[in-house]
Amino acid sequence: MTKKLAFPLVAVFVVGLSGCPSSGPTVPPTTSGGGFFFNTFTSFNLSPPEITPATQIQGTWVRDQPGATGDPSTWTKTSNVAGVGIVPNGRINADWKFQWTFSPVAACDGQTVTATVHFVDDDIILVCTVTTAVLGTTTDFVFSPMPIATDGSSGTEAFITGNGFSSQYGMPLLQYFDLNGTLVAQANADGVANDGNWMSFPIPDISQLPVGTYVGFISNANANGGYDLLGSTAVQVAIPPPPTPTDPCPTNPCMPQN
């Protein structure tokens, strides 16, 4: 199972247009006064990011912020040996979608993130985080309740039993991924057993998740402020069962009516 994340924080922008349907927002005219940098990194198993050179990034203009200047044209650039890419006169005070079109780390290919370039020579940090776990570890950790219902009827608290949970440097983290490796939810534990054989945590809002199987990656906080992967567990998301029909005759047999 592979986790693929991108930072800075993803921002989703919806552009509403009136009139006839359009394939996208109108690209503004090019002016002078732009230009920015990007840096490409990869983090493996929640470790500190490492510089990743020779990474090809495509940039697509999304929309302007107030005071935007520069060139909004789509571009494709490859980071140098220091992981740095340069976008001469690239539009600033604007939102861009960055896509990994080639990376030495194959798991990053195709990933996207949208971020704002704020000023001339702004430096946009692009991090692809890859987490791997042996699927066999799912038998070492047991998630309950199982399944969890999309309407919240399973309660507000869940538990994982196993070994190795620790709150020494902070509460463990549980991250939920779909089978495509996309992060869909996460939560920090709110309770850890003294002997490390169970932890509890709030169930996140899953009301909009498709039903099916997900993988929960379990990580302990470490002394450096990050997380160390401990293992994974299967998580089933299901629609709630239909209510039990009400007994029309709870105390007496129903007699046929003439």
CA distance 12 to 3: 20
Arithmetic mean of pLDDT, 161-188: 86
CA distance 205 to 186: 10
Q: Do domains 2-132 and 135-238 have the same CATH topology?
A: yes
* Domain at 135-238: CATH code: 2.60.40.10
Provide the percentage of residues in the chain whose pLDDT is more than 90: 39
**pLDDT in the model for residue 7:** 33
**Residue pLDDT, tens place only, 8-57:** 322 222 222 223 334 557 899 999 999 999 999 887 766 677 889 999 99
Per-residue pLDDT band for 155 (boundaries 50, 70, 90) equals confident
Q: Is the pLDDT of residue 63 over 70?
A: yes
Per-residue pLDDT band for 136 (boundaries 50, 70, 90) equals very low
The architecture CATH gives domain 2-132: Sandwich (2.60)
CA distance 218 to 173: 6
What is the value of pTM for the model shown? 0.49
Sheet strands (E) in 178-255: 183-188, 191-192, 198-202, 212-221, 227-238
Cα distance between the two ends of the chain: 65
**Residue pLDDT, tens place only, 186-198:** 899 999 999 999 9
**Residue pLDDT, tens place only, 83-96:** 999 999 999 999 99
Write out the two tokens for 9.
Answer: 């924080």
Domains of the chain: which residue ranges? 2-132, 135-238
Sheet strands (E) in the chain: 2-7, 36-44, 50-51, 56-69, 75-78, 84-87, 92-102, 112-117, 123-132, 142-144, 148-149, 157-161, 173-177, 183-188, 191-192, 198-202, 212-221, 227-238
Residue indicated by tokens 């798991």: 107
Per-residue pLDDT band for 152 (boundaries 50, 70, 90) equals confident
Write out the two tokens for 27.
Answer: 């690209």
